[in-house]
Structure 1
Amino acid sequence: MDAGATIDDVRDRTETERTRLGSDKVLIAATDATLETDAVLTAAATRESGLATVLDRWAAETESAVATQFETAAEDAAGRTDRIDADAGDPDGFLDHLETVSGTAQRVGVGLVAAPLIADQLYLQVVSFFINEADEQRADTFREIRREASALDDGETALGYLSESERETAAAAATEAIEAAYVDYAETLEAMGLDPKPIC
C-alpha cells in the first residue's frame, strides 16, 4: 500500500467508530454533559494543546525525516489552541492513549492519521453547537479549525518516508487509536446512563 491507500485502509477499518464519534453525543462525553460554550471551548483546547505537546516531544525524539512532519503538526495544533483561546482541562482518553505510543511508524499512524480523522468528527459537532447557539463567529472559526485539524497532508508525507511494512504498522496503530478513542467515548456515555450506539 502506498501512503494514500494506507489512509484509506484506516478509514475503511474504522468507519463504524468514526461515525459514532461524529454523533451529537460526542460533546456530551467531551464536556461531562455540560453543553455550554466554556465547556466546549475547554474540550477543544484540551485536545489541541495536548496534541501539540505530544507531537512536539515526538519531533525531538525522532531521528528521521518524519520529525519535520511531527514538528509542523505540533506547531499547527499550538496555533489552533491559541485561536480557541480557552484554558485546557485534564487530558481525555485519546490524549492518554497518545502517551502510550512508541516507535516512529506507530506514532505516524496515531499522531498524523488517527488524530486528524478523529478531529474531523469532533469539530463537526463543535461547529453544529455554535450554529445552534447562534454564534456565527465561533462557528466560522471552528469550520476553519476543523478543516486544518482534519488535514492529512503531514500524515501522507510521513507515510511516504516509511517502508511498506512500516506503513502497515502505522495503519494498525491508527486503527487501534481510533478504537481506543471510541471505547473511551462509549464508556463515558455509559457511565452517564446513555447508549453510545445511534438509534436506528
Structure 2
Amino acid sequence: MNPDEFLDAVRDDNETALSRLGSSKSLYAATGGEMDADHVLRAAADAEFAAARTFESWADTEDHAEAREAFETTADEEDDHYESVLAELGEYDPDGEPSAMQAHLRGLDSTVERAGGLLGRVLATGKSKEQLTGFFVGQADPQTAQLFRELKGDLGDQRERALELLDAVCADDADWDAAKAAADGAIQAAYDEYVDQLESMGVNPKPVC
C-alpha cells in the first residue's frame, strides 16, 4: 500500500460516518443542542485545546525524529487554533475532558498507529470545520466564518504531513494495517460519540430521506 491508496481506503471504509459527521446535526450534538455562537465557540475551543494536548503528549514520548517533529508542529498548530477561537470567544477555560476521538488517540502507543490516527483525526475534524464555517455564515458573521475556513486550510497541511509520515514509518503490510485500524478507530470513536449525543437528546442520528 502507498499513502494515496491508504487515504482512499480510509475514506471509502468510513464514508457513512464521515458523511454524517459533516451533517448539520454535528454541531447540535457537540453543543448539546445549544445552537448559539457562544456554545459553538466553546465546543470548538474545547476540541482544539484537547487536540493540542494529545499531539503535545505524543511529541514528548516519541523516539522517531520525523514523527516527533510532525507531532510538535501539529501541536503548535492546534494551540494556535485554540488561541484564535479564544480571541473570538473571550475569557474561557476549556473543560479539559477529551472527546471520544481524543481518548482513542491518546491510547495509541506506536509511531505507526499514531501516524494513522493523525490522518483519521484530520478527516473527521475537516467535517466539523465545514459545519463551523457554515454556522457563522448563517449568523451573518463573515469574520468568524473566515477564521474557520483558515483553520480548515491548516488541516490540509496536517493531512499531507500525516501521509508523508505514514510513507516514512510503514515498512510492510502489517504496519499499514495497524495504521488503518488506528485511523478507522479515530473516525469511529467520533461517530459513536456523535450518535450517543444525539440519541441522548432524542434525536435520530440518521438522515431523514
Q: TM-score, normalised by structure 2?
A: 0.91
Q: What does residue 174 of structure 1 align with? A: 183
Q: What does residue 63 of structure 2 align with? A: 63
Q: Which amino acid aligns with 2:23?
A: S
Q: What does residue 77 of structure 1 align with? A: 78
Q: What does residue 11 of structure 2 align with? A: 11
- In the superposition, relative to structure 1, how do residues 150 and 80 fare at CA in structure 2: closer, same or farther (>3 Å)? same
Give distance in 2, aligned partners of 1:199 and 1:147. 30
Q: What does residue 138 of structure 1 align with? A: 144
Give distance in 2, aligned partners of 1:19 and 1:7. 16
Following superposition, the deviation at residue 146 of structure 1 comes to 1.3
Over residues 28-82 of structure 1, what are the superposed CA-to-partner deviations in whole Å (9 max), with x where a residue is unaligned? 1101111111111111111111111110110111111211111111111111111
Whether 1:193 aligns to 2:194 is no
Q: What does residue 160 of structure 1 align with? A: 167
Following superposition, the deviation at residue 15 of structure 1 comes to 0.6
Whether 1:126 aligns to 2:135 is no
Specify the SS of the correspondent of 1:62. Answer: coil
Q: Which amino acid aligns with 1:97?
A: H
Q: Is the 8 A contact 2:104 2:185 kept in 1?
A: no
Q: Is the 8 A contact 1:113 1:155 kept in 2?
A: yes
Q: TM-score, normalised by structure 1?
A: 0.95
Give distance in 1, aligned partners of 2:111 and 2:162. 12
Give distance in 1, aligned partners of 2:160 and 2:54. 19
Specify the SS of the correspondent of 1:197. Answer: coil
Percent same amino acid among aligned pairs?
Answer: 34
Give distance in 1, aligned partners of 2:100 and 2:42. 15
Over residues 68-111 of structure 1, what are the superposed CA-to-partner deviations in whole Å (9 max), with x where a residue is unaligned? 1111111111111111114323332222222222221111111x
Q: Is the 8 A contact 1:109 1:171 kept in 2?
A: yes
Unaligned runs of 5+ residues in structure 2 are none
Q: What does residue 38 of structure 1 align with? A: 38
Q: How many equivalent residue pairs?
A: 199
Specify the SS of the correspondent of 1:102. Answer: coil
Whether 1:24 aligns to 2:24 is yes
Following superposition, the deviation at residue 148 of structure 1 comes to 1.1
